Amino acid sequence: MAVRSKSSQRWLERQRRDPYVKQAQSEGYRSRAAYKFLEIDAKDRLLRPGMRVLDLGAAPGGWSQVLAAGVGSRGQVIALDLLPMDPVPGVVFIQGDFTEDEPLERIHAALNGEFVDLVLSDMAPNISGMRAVDQPRSVHLCELALDLATRVLQSGGHLVIKAFHGEGFDQLVRELRRCFERVVTRKPDASRANSRETYLVATGFRSACRSPVRG
């Protein structure tokens, strides 16, 4: 029998005691992360039927499940992740590396020239445990998500980005405020207290900030 490491044992124990894990299992969500977006949406009222939504860092699909239910049959959800994801009804899934051009080209093809109403990024880098390495990687992903948002969001659209407090965070907030009417930070109850993650909710995209679609 394989012997689990102490870190694996701690993770399993934390999962066993986590009320959001239990709630997700009972309510049919693929991950506890679904409750992070549900709480954000309850406060900021981002999701509406018929919306077109882009979900970045989607696997295993907890946010995509919420989004598909929220936009309904008249809406569209496009999800992207480096990892595979089991199909979610009503969701177009693209597997690929967000830092490369090919998956972005597939996103633009799926949009077929249409703008989206909402971009979500729950992306995070592979954590090395070294803050001097992890923080720049996290900020870089946030910057890439913002760059894509400025290309695909319709005027007045919204963006939600997971970010980590540290070097580059304040600059990211300033850039968001340049491009959006309102920017707030959210720390959902479902986000573990010992995590540095926070969510930046930017609403009211200014079309003057739009970047041209590449390709």
Known binding site for S-adenosyl-L-methionine: residues? 61, 63, 81, 97, 122
Amino acid letter, residue 94: I
Q: For residue 92, which of 78, 106, 105, 82 has the smallest C-alpha distance?
A: 78
Distance CA 23, CA 31 (A): 9
Burial label for 24, CB within 10 Å (0-12, 13-18, 19+), is: buried
Distance CA 181, CA 105 (A): 28
Helix, strand, coil shares, percent, the chain, to 5: 40, 25, 35
Q: How many CB atoms lie within 10 A of CB 206?
A: 14
List the catalytic residue out of 22, 36, 43, 162. Answer: 162
Residues of the binding site: 61, 63, 81, 97, 122
Task: Please say if 162 is a catalytic residue.
Answer: yes
CB 20 within 8 A of CB 44: no
Distance CA 14, CA 152 (A): 38
**Residues 43, 49, 53, 56: is their CA dihedral positive or negative?**
positive
Query: DSSP assignment, residue 29?
Result: -
**Active-site residue numbers?**
162
